[in-house]
Amino acid sequence: MIPPVLRVSRLACGPQGAQAGERAIPEETPVAIVHNGSTYAVMMATPADIEDFGYGFSLTEGVIDDLGDVDSIETLEFDEADGAVGIEVRLWLKDERARQMVARRRQIAGPTGCGLCGVESLELAVKPARLVTATRHFTVDEISRAIAALPPAQVLNRQTRAVHAAAFWQPEDGLVAVREDVGRHNALDKLVGHLVRQGRDASAGIVLLTSRVSIEMVQKTARLGAGVLVAVSAPTALAVRTAEKAGITLAAIARDDGFEVFTHPHRIAVGGAEQERIAHVG
């Protein structure tokens, strides 16, 4: 197995001079998503939770609608002796889904976590997100607890300080799952794949991101069906507009002392007159 983290030699330089040592850094490797023998995409990703990635990417790209569209999945690793280095995730689709895939087939080779490489039109780049109808509410305290739970669970980032995380949190269960990757899109795709494989109801919890929120992150969250998306960094303007249209509660700039809500604040229960006031925001 390709290790997700490597230790490499480095020279630390500072006011007191230089000191030799080692540092843990994340690996990234080409990961090809292959449907019925045809390569759909090649992404640079962290070699961990690869089957989750295959399912999640296929779902958020609209290649499949659910796990029932997939007959089987396998992963194969290649090294220099094979003439290529990387991983293939091979998904074999049901016949009808395979025919639909052929009709919209594309082949893309993207940099780390790139979500738009190879898109053939402006319409596809900003396609509307799926409408989310989740009704569950969360308190400010619950969202704060969710954010506080994330850093201790970021195993790869504690080692490397160089990867993004996507996570899912529920009041009853706490932090249900965390997925990390050098690409923020990849991390969310891995999370989507895991939750779908577990049969988890995403409308009952919160999606957490350590990255900024761009349109693709909103689109992927909408595809999962989660009603609340909370990020450590800020959103883009297009992400806010997309979340508004998709019915997603988007909170961002989440810190120890609070967060900011940009769309659909009705799912955030703050209580009293303030709850009535924010219901009209946006």
CA distance 144 to 258: 7
- Domains of the chain, each with CATH number or no CATH: 29-125 (3.10.20.10), 138-278 (3.40.140.10)
- Specify the pLDDT at position 107: 47
Per-residue pLDDT of the chain (282 residues; tens, 9 = 90+): 899 999 999 999 999 999 999 999 999 999 999 999 999 999 999 999 999 999 999 999 999 999 999 999 999 999 988 888 899 999 999 988 888 877 665 545 556 666 555 555 566 667 789 999 999 999 999 999 999 999 999 999 999 999 999 999 999 999 999 999 999 999 999 999 999 999 999 999 999 999 999 999 999 999 999 999 999 999 999 999 999 999 999 999 999 899 999 999 999 998 644 454 444 444
The answer to whether the beta carbons of residues 1 and 77 sit under 8 Å apart is: yes
First and final C-alpha spacing in the chain: 48
- Specify the pLDDT at position 83: 82
- Specify the pLDDT at position 116: 56
- Specify the pLDDT at position 282: 44
Q: What DSSP string runs through 105-126?
A: ---EEEEET-SSTT--SHHHHT
The answer to whether the beta carbons of residues 55 and 92 sit under 8 Å apart is: no
φ, ψ of residue 9 in degrees (nearest 5) = -70, 145
pTM for the predicted model, two decimal places: 0.91
Catalytic residue among 2, 5, 24, 114: 114
Torsion of CA 209, 214, 218, 220, to 10 degrees: -80
Catalytic (active site) residue 13 = no
Length of the chain: 282
